């Protein structure tokens, strides 16, 4: 589950910070692998994905940085995109197509910015992102002893 109750933590549990929702700091960074190739014929799909994502965010989202990354090392699941922020979760998605993946990412980033620690609830993620989910990595500066996500 993405969000479990943190109420039953032991009272002597030491934590890096209080378990109150902390909104992701700007910028939200969308990293797009530009070296992704299809497995069947080796067609380079990364640059098209980057161009589509960059165009979708454009200048309407000044607090979102779309950047090219030469490799995210998920070569069997192209195209691959990571969404992160300085104090939020990092999400890694694969199997994205330029059209459906881009629209899903725009919606996801909106939810990410409005969720504590950027922890977007499963139900708020587009189907293509649910199926393409590769990893959810917690913020570096937060790590409670019990490993649970904050409320």
Domains located in the chain, CATH noted: 28-137 (3.40.30.10)
pLDDT means per 10 residues, the chain with 151 residues, are 41 49 85 94 95 92 92 95 94 96 96 92 95 92 67 58
- Where residue 59 falls (left for φ over 0; alpha for ψ -120 to 50; beta otherwise) is alpha
Token readout for 53 is 């994502």
pLDDT of res. 3? 43
Closest listed residue to residue 83, CA positions, set 56, 62, 65? 65
DSSP 143: -
**Is the entire prediction scored with pTM above 0.75?**
yes
């Amino acid at each position: 589950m993405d969000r479990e109750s943190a109420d039953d933590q032991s009272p002597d549990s030491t934590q890096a910070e209080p378990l109150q929702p902390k909104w992701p700091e700007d910028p939200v960074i969308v990293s797009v692998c530009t070296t992704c190739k299809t497995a069947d014929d080796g067609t380079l799909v990364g640059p098209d994905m980057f161009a589509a994502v960059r165009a979708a965010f454009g200048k309407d989202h000044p607090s979102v940085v779309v950047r090219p990354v030469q490799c995210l090392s998920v070569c069997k699941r192209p195209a691959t995109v990571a969404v992160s922020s300085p104090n939020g979760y990092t999400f890694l998605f694969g199997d994205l197509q330029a059209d459906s993946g881009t629209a899903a990412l725009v919606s996801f980033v909106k939810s990410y910015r409005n969720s504590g620690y950027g922890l977007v609830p499963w139900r708020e993620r587009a189907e293509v992102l649910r199926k393409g989910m590769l990893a959810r990595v917690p913020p570096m500066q937060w790590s409670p002893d019990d490993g649970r996500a904050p409320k």
